[in-house]
Chains A and B, each alone.
Chain A
Amino acid sequence: MAEKCPACGSCGMPMEKPEDFALGDVTRPYCRHCTDARGELLPFDQVLATNARFYVESQGVTPAAADKMARAMLADMPAWRGRH
């Protein structure tokens, strides 16, 4: 089994380097993309939009497909589990 680094509890992004964590603090559960300047978790809709845009920019899928995939990914994350 491959060795795993911690993953963001909001979006699942692997956090390999200190700068990947909120405020560069490796004890934080969320990544820098899912948090604001104070290290607080951003609202769901904002995290969803960021993740969907990530799919569009990296693979050129439609915004609707990206939204569907991003929702599926976030639904099971500790930060958002049981939200719906």
Chain B
Amino acid sequence: MQAATRREQKEVTRGRLVNAAMTLFARKGIVNTTTADVAKSVRMSHGVIFLHFPTRDDLVVAVIDDFGARLSAEFRRAFEQDLGLRSVLKAHLRVLQEFEPFYARLVAEAPMLPPKVRSTLMLLHAAVSYELFTALERERKAGRARKIERPLLFNTWIGLVHHYVVNRDLFAAGNSVIAEQGETLVNHFMTLIKP
């Protein structure tokens, strides 16, 4: 019983650290945020972080993994309902909007991040690429889409989305560029795939 409580407490602390890191990464940038900043923001000693995350990179990866888990859940829902490409695009944007301030930093800083962190993002992108391509192929078999190579399908979509997300201050009057421009991007992309 005590062990279970300790485990639960450990999970709670880990969750607080991941959430605090995500908030700070969004505000200050990933490169500019130190583990000491994260510890200070949750009023914990600096050493506590390393009980949960052996390195700073592990903390960044944990934040990306959290985002990835949400994305998987949304894709699974869209897939189980056998919805089309439009639904997959919307599911992707729904999760991006949830994590938008952090995601904007992640994308803008990606070339400066260590390979371990960058490869975690690439793994996420590979999953998105798979979902888009699977949905496109279904549309194609139904005569609603043309053939597009998988990397270009993904890169066209992600290039479009990332341009708006990274420059969100230019494309949105409010807080979320996905909320303001997401539907336009989905509609535009759906016209690009038509036969």
Contact = CB atoms under 8 A, between A and B. Distances in A.
Interface of A: 1-5, 12, 14, 16, 54-61, 68-73, 75-76
Interface residues of B, number: 30
B125 A59 contact: yes
A54 B154 CA distance: 13
Secondary structure of the B side of the interface? helix
Nearest to B158: A59
Nearest to B67: A2
Given A12-B123, A56-B151, A61-B122, 17 more contacts: A1-B18, A1-B19, A1-B66, A2-B67, A4-B65, A5-B69, A14-B68, A14-B69, A16-B76, A58-B125, A58-B151, A59-B125, A72-B116, A73-B116, A73-B119, A73-B123, A75-B116
Nearest to B11: A1
Contacts of B150: 57-58
B130 interface: yes
B129 A59 contact: yes
Nearest to B12: A1
B70 interface: yes
A68 B18 contact: no
B120 interface: yes
B31 interface: no
A55 B152 contact: no
Contact of A72 (B69, B118, B126, B152): B118
B72 interface: yes
